[in-house]
Structure 1
Amino acid sequence: MKTNKRSSSAKTSSSKQASLTSSHSKQDARSSKRDSSQRPPQATPCTSPIVKSQTLPLHILMVLDQFNIGGTETYTLSLTRELLRQGVKVTVAGKQGKLLQAFIGLGCPVYELDFVLDNHEPNTEREQELMHMLSSIVERNPVHIIHAHQFPSGKIAKAVACAAHLPFVFTVHGTYYDHSFLDDLKDAVIISVSPAVERMLRTNGIRSYLIPNGIDTGEYQARSEVYREHLRKKLGLPSDALIALYASRLSWEKAEICKQVIHAASALRNFGFQRLYMIIVGDGKDEKMLTDLAKQEHLLFPQQVVTFVGETTNIHAYYQVADCVIGTGRVALEAMASMLPFIAYGTKGYIGAIQPSNAAAAWDSWFGDHGATPEAFTIVKFMSDIERILNVSEQERRSLAQWGREHVHERYHITNVTRKLLDTYQEAVTNLQTAKNA
């Protein structure tokens, strides 16, 4: 990827978003009661700005390392869209990437700042220059809060917020952050996205607000059979295939999970499950290693059982093709909102097929990505879950799919998440103003 030398770019457009409502299943209600000690307070979706005490609309400077395709970045895109819809002003800064145009399309100012190099390492040589440029953005705009999500951009953003006497908000999206960086955040407003992350921070003496990542369920729809058949033909997949989709970055621990996906597919085919096919969405440094493994397992030739489609900005199309999805984190929300059965398998543990009985454990560990899970992983258990989910009756599949969509809408809808975050923003602004007046 070329390094972009422009310091800023901004375009305007308009964006509309529909909010949907749904009833909650009785099973999910019981699960929610059991999980009441861990879940954040529920909020009813709203359609009007809730920040009213500002003379001017609240203005957030949202900072990312790079506009990549990943869970943190796609959540920030959804959050920015919803903040704008609720009447909040947002300015965004980050390095050019595949999601840049999506952010520009929201109609808010977007600044291209190279916080990281093309190899994703911190741009340490230009740190002072980046700090100066970010400060100039703050000086040009009446920003009330700076909100960052990643390192190293978060380190620079915090320094700028401190110099400008602005509240600094940082969302901790996982357990992979350097502890020295987290220690530097103790005087910031911290958001944790799962109970496991909240516990990790608390163990390190850091107080946080527990607010999950969210999605707009209106962007995800149940599959259309006609469109499904059209896409399957384009991919060269049989019309009667039973398709499991794995979506993730193909690097580090996630690549190890993908290896287990390939091993499971090979074993199930050898045991006679001839209708099984796999689609793998994502890219990363281990993609070639995984492709070679699929070749060794005879899953690419003479019949292409595993299809690697690479990184995509339109994962919705592949959800239309799939019969179930395997993954963790945000992929879980997207799959269930698309009314697909979901098997949770993250870097910290295995949960299996998500249903009302294990929904609380899934939330606690962010679908196996943030903390230990009650289910121990074995390849036999994994294979059994894939085979069972793909062969359930149509009635059971519909029931599970409907519950999944309603569960995501109730617990993780972006409107509810944004409202909770706005309350936190407002508290941070009020506390800073009180301190100034003291």
Structure 2
Amino acid sequence: MPNNLPTILLAAMALDLGGAETHVISLARELHRRGHRVVVASAGGRMVPMLTERGIPHEVVPMASRNPLVMARAFFGLRRVIARYNVGLVHAHARIPAWLCSLVVRGRGIPLVTTYHGTYAAGFPWKYLTTFGQRAIAVSEDVRRHLEGPLGAPPEIIRVIPNGFETGEFRPGVDIGPLLAELGPDLGGPHVVHASRLTDEFADTAVALLRALPSLNAQFPTIRLWILGDGNRYAEVQRLADEVNARLGRPAAAAVGHRLDVAAFFNLADVVVAVARTATEAMLCERPVVIAGEGGYRGILTPERIPVYAAANFTAREGGTPLDPAVLAADIASLLGPERAAERARLGRAGREFVVASLSIESVTARILDVYAEVLTGDRQ
């Protein structure tokens, strides 16, 4: 792909904790590294410095709200960004940015690519506020089926391209010294780490883990559970953690809020409980992963299950069962203990090997650039 592409606008809801947000940052940085002109627009967030420190401009456009007045401001904000940077291609991530961008580029000859990172409500009126652009990227096969089915996207415009990962950022051997100094000398162990938004149904996994902790504590009396993330249920999760700690008579659980040193926590972990991007980042750190979160529960991620679970972006949207603290505790317990160290290492190696081979940001960006070439040349194939 030559470097004479027009300026690319990546539009996202916000740049806070989340898989779609992190992918947008990784994609922007890789496009910039390859010499392409890229600007990112979003409602902002704590990860914006990850762009600006690389010299990638970020413009605040409030695309994280359904309020009609806010969306009107976003519309005019997008128009200003496109004019200021002479944008020639727009790549929108998620439904609200896609819909707003479709209105802004209408009649201007600017191609629009959209990426759908999950499944969305398809009833009235949402189906009619869903747009796809000249190409719609689905991050997994189950999302592709959702786009074709309930949302009604033309199959010929869909491309399945998973999210990409910067494999050097999440890796085994990350220095955890600063983290250990912060957390204190008496950490106990083994360590279970869960990272997720603590919003709405996404916080259900943290709650299930806290309910599972007393059972795990009976088998591993110095076990520690670290819950990373924040959101509208953070206070509830923190209160439950305090209650569990009082019941066990020690600091067994900690809800540590939003963190930027997730890779260090994963390197501390003996087991990571997560879905989607955080599950994949844990795989890159060579940690065994238990898939629990969006969609429910799918259990231990074994080498045999990796390609199957990848088809649903390492979520439980397909084949998942309801979260059960007893089942969760049993699966985690089966991975802990000194005698299971070799098995944890085997699972961890298999996870990293898959991600490096299939999901590196370099290979994913190359496939996205092919999509950009399609819309810029009008290729219908």
What's the TM-score, normalizing by structure 2? Answer: 0.90
Aligned-pair identity in percent equals: 27
| Matching residue within 270, 288, 296 for 2:235 | 288
Within 5 Å, which residues of 2 pair with 1:99-110?
A: 99-110=47-58
Residue 314 (structure 1) aligns with? 261
Residue 38 (structure 2) aligns with? 90
Distance 1:425 1:299, change over 3 A: farther
Distance 1:109 1:320, change over 3 A: same
Task: Give the distance between the partners of 2:78 and 2:136, measured in 1 at CA.
Answer: 21
Task: Give the distance between the partners of 1:240 and 1:101, measured in 2 at CA.
Answer: 34
Task: Give the distance between the partners of 2:185 and 2:304, measured in 1 at CA.
Answer: 34
Task: Give the distance between the partners of 1:102 and 1:229, measured in 2 at CA.
Answer: 22
Q: Could you tell me whether the CA contact under 8 Å between 2:140 and 2:313 is conserved in 1?
A: yes
Q: CA RMSD in A?
A: 2.3
Task: Give the distance between the partners of 1:126 and 1:229, measured in 2 at CA.
Answer: 43
Within 5 Å, which residues of 2 pair with 1:109-120?
A: 109-116=57-64
Aligned residue identity for 1:110: H
CA deviation digits over 1:201-224, x for unaligned, max 9? 111331321110110111122136
Residue 272 (structure 1) aligns with? 219
Q: Tell me whether 1:358 sits opposite 2:305 in the alignment.
A: yes
Residue 382 (structure 1) aligns with? 328
Task: Give the distance between the partners of 1:91 and 1:407, measured in 2 at CA.
Answer: 31
Task: Give the distance between the partners of 2:184 and 2:296, measured in 1 at CA.
Answer: 33
Give the superposition deviation at 1:376.
6.5
Give the superposition deviation at 1:233.
5.2
SS in 2 for 1:352: strand
Which consecutive unaligned segments of at least 5 residues does structure 1 have?
A: 1-50
Task: Give the distance between the partners of 2:140 and 2:313, measured in 1 at CA.
Answer: 6
Task: Give the distance between the partners of 2:44 and 2:147, measured in 1 at CA.
Answer: 31
Aligned residue identity for 2:74: L
Task: Give the distance between the partners of 1:131 and 1:201, measured in 2 at CA.
Answer: 24
Aligned residue identity for 2:342: Q
Distance 1:99 1:344, change over 3 A: same
Aligned residue identity for 1:343: V
Task: Give the distance between the partners of 1:149 and 1:256, measured in 2 at CA.
Answer: 25
Task: Give the distance between the partners of 1:329 and 1:368, measured in 2 at CA.
Answer: 5
| Matching residue within 304, 324, 327 for 2:251 | 304
Task: Give the distance between the partners of 2:121 and 2:373, measured in 1 at CA.
Answer: 26
Task: Give the distance between the partners of 2:348 and 2:57, measured in 1 at CA.
Answer: 38
Matched positions, count: 373
Distance 1:359 1:353, change over 3 A: same
Q: Tell me whether 1:71 sits opposite 2:19 in the alignment.
A: yes
Task: Give the distance between the partners of 2:43 and 2:336, measured in 1 at CA.
Answer: 40
Aligned residue identity for 2:191: I
Give the superposition deviation at 1:97.
1.4
Give the superposition deviation at 1:72.
1.0
SS in 1 for 2:12: strand
**Which structure is higher in RCO with an 8 Å CA cutoff and minimum separation 6?**
1
Distance 1:377 1:97, change over 3 A: closer
Give the superposition deviation at 1:246.
0.6
Aligned residue identity for 1:373: G
Residue 204 (structure 2) aligns with? 256
Residue 198 (structure 1) aligns with? 144
Give the superposition deviation at 1:186.
4.7
Give the superposition deviation at 1:402.
1.6
Q: Could you tell me whether the CA contact under 8 Å between 1:114 and 1:123 is conserved in 2?
A: no
| Matching residue within 271, 281, 287 for 1:340 | 287
CA deviation digits over 1:317-357, x for unaligned, max 9? 21222111101000011101011111111221322121211
Task: Give the distance between the partners of 1:104 and 1:301, measured in 2 at CA.
Answer: 45
SS in 1 for 2:13: strand
CA deviation digits over 1:403-437, x for unaligned, max 9? 211111012111111111110111011117x9xxx
Give the superposition deviation at 1:112.
1.5
Give the superposition deviation at 1:301.
6.6
Give the superposition deviation at 1:378.
3.7
Further displaced range: 233-242 or 353-362: 233-242
Residue 270 (structure 2) aligns with? 323
Give the superposition deviation at 1:194.
1.0
Task: Give the distance between the partners of 2:70 and 2:200, measured in 1 at CA.
Answer: 28
What's the TM-score, normalizing by structure 1? Answer: 0.79
| Matching residue within 190, 209, 218 for 2:159 | 209
Q: Could you tell me whether the CA contact under 8 Å between 2:209 and 2:325 is conserved in 1?
A: no
